[in-house]
Chains A and B, each alone.
Chain A
Amino acid sequence: MKLFKLFNNKRLFILLITLVMFIVVMGFSLGARKALSWPENFLRDTTGFVQSLFYKPAGYVAGFFQDIGNLHDLAEENERLKILAAQYARDKAVYNFTKAKIEDYQEKLNFKDAQKKLYDYELHIAQVISLTTEPSNSSVVIDLGSKDGIKPNMSVISVEGMVGVISQVSNFTSTVKLMTVMDANDPNSQPPIAATVLDKEGKSFGMIESYDQQTGMLKMNKIPVGDPIAVGDTIISSGGGGVYPRGLTIGTVKSVKVGEFGYTSTALIDPTADFQDWKDLFVVFTEERVE
């Protein structure tokens, strides 16, 4: 028996035990977990601390050179921002009136507190401390943890748009699972995002369910027939279902076509966040909901 010569019995035994152990660990870690064990917490927090010493200074140095490169675009960008700021100042007045009116109606219609606060959310800034771009497991580590009130499945956004959801939380750091690993076939993937089109909020609807790594596009399914969605539209989250807050920018529509069975359409969406080189991200804190 050549096999037994190659591995003597003891070694074969250890090998098999290790294999089984690994399968158990992988299977166990695959499911949803409420909290991490203390060795995991300890390792993540200590490593996170050391990483935070490196990532930020490196980012500043890199950012400095980028800024020098962008210097000639600065005047143009400034002009554009000034126009935008003027528009916002005007819209702000309209917004305040509308908001006051809605609050007034809510009062008159006897809204419950939970209903009033349904769409309230606040952003907490978080520093990125390290990242990995591996296709099947892209994640970013940020410097907020359970001590700051972070919980799994909170949404994380950047200035450009939605980035992903919190997957695991330890005391002082947490891991963000990027939208690029969103997958309809994976039961533990982030839940589908109920989405709608900016400026057609009441008329358009669809579910963003997966990300295609080969094309780099998000797939929005279940768009009903006769939906006014068109190429170039901006897609935002609609807040339906309660997992994601309302109004987060997700991407722009690249193409719309009739889906597999002909009853609904499918749109391909180009995400606005570019999934690389971040300094800061925002974690979206929503009102606590009873589950």
Chain B
Amino acid sequence: MRMRRSVLVLLLFLIFILQGTILPWLLPDAWELRIIPNLVFIVILFVTIYHHRHTALILGLSFGMLHDIVYYGRILGAHSFAMGLSAYLIGLIFQIPRAPLPLMMTVVLLGSLLEDSILFAIYSVFNLNQEPYNWALLNYMLPTMLFHFAIGLLLYIPVRRQLELLKKETRKEEPA
């Protein structure tokens, strides 16, 4: 059981690294300020649907905090709060271990919008952004949503398989 879970955490860490280093080179220049990739959050959404929302909450809080600390420009804790809370809320509403692909993709779209909106709200509360919500929505939240949708499709099979294995192991351990 320990092994599968650490595989999941390592996978998330690897995705976190790739998203900050390789992805900016792959994205076309014109998109770079319009798409704010958060691949870690996509995987956490998979966890919240197919595994459990509490695991997703902890993962969201810790990887959000990692992001906050590594890219510490103005404020700590914004990503941690946004990722943890939105993963938990999505899990609360949609947690279905047998969710089919279309439902999962809807969750990816909704979750990505929810997370970006919570972030926007936090920055607004601390008076760190001056742009209206409409502009932010059109300029980067919607493009990011579509990008996350595409990434969600790519990740669907490998991540779901990983989570099935994790579930099997947890189940085997429980009776013992």
List chain A positions with a Cβ less than 8 A from chain B.
22, 25-26, 28-30, 36, 40, 43-44, 47-48, 50-51, 54-55, 58-59, 61-62, 129-139, 141, 167-168, 175, 177-178, 181, 183, 185-186, 188, 213-214, 274-277
Q: How far is A181 from B139 in the complex, measured between Cα atoms in Å?
A: 16
Q: Given the complex of chains A and B, what is the CA–CA distance between A132 and B122 in angstroms?
A: 18
Closest chain-B Cβ to A17's Cβ sits at a distance in Å of 13
**CB < 8 Å neighbour of A132 from B26, B36, B76:** B36
Chain A residues within 8 Å of B1, by CB: none
Render B104-144 as a binary contact track against A, CB cut-off 8 A, 1 for contact. Answer: 00000000000000011011001111110001100110000
Give 25 pairs: A residue, B residue, CB < 8 Å, sorted on A: A29-B77, A40-B69, A44-B70, A51-B21, A55-B20, A55-B21, A61-B25, A130-B17, A132-B20, A133-B36, A134-B119, A135-B33, A135-B140, A136-B129, A139-B71, A167-B72, A168-B73, A175-B70, A181-B73, A181-B128, A213-B130, A213-B131, A214-B131, A214-B139, A275-B33
Which of the residues B72, B80, B123, B129 comes within 8 Å of A168, measured between beta carbons?
B72
Answer yes or no: B164 CB below 8 A from chain A CBs.
no
**Are B33 and A29 within 8 A (Cβ)?**
no
Contact status B75-A26, CB under 8 Å = yes
Instruction: Give the CA-CA distance A181 to B131 in the complex, in Å.
Output: 12
A136–B123 CA distance with the chains assembled, in angstroms? 7
CB-based nearest A residue for B129: A136
Chain A interface SS verdict (over half): mixed
With contact pairs A26-B126, A43-B69, A214-B131 given, residues A133 and B76 touching in the complex (Cβ less than 8 Å) = no
- Chain A nearest CB from B160 CB (Å) reads 26
Instruction: Say which residue of B20, B66, B129 sits within 8 Å of A43 (CB atoms).
Output: B66
Residues of A within 8 A of B36 (CB): 132-135
Q: Is the CB of B73 within 8 A of A138?
A: yes
**In contact, A137 and B75 (Cβ under 8 angstroms):** yes
Cα A51 to Cα B71 with chains together (Å):
12
Q: Within the complex, what minimum Cβ distance (angstroms) separates A104 from chain B?
A: 45
Known: A58-B25, A137-B75. A131 touches B20 (CB 8 A): yes
Q: Please determine whether B77 and A25 come into contact, CB atoms closer than 8 angstroms.
A: yes
Q: Which residues of A contact B135 (CB under 8 A)?
A: 214
Decide: A54 and B71 in contact? CB cutoff 8 A. no
B16 nearest CB across to chain A (Å): 8
A62 proximity list for chain B (CB < 8 A): 25-26
Q: Which residues of A contact B80 (CB under 8 A)?
A: 22
| Shortest beta-carbon distance from B26 to chain A in Å | 8
B165 on interface, CB distance cutoff 8 Å: no
Q: How far is the CA of A36 from the CA of B70 in the complex (A)?
A: 12
* Chain A, Cβ-Cβ closest to B20: A130
* Closest chain B CB from A165 CB (angstroms): 10
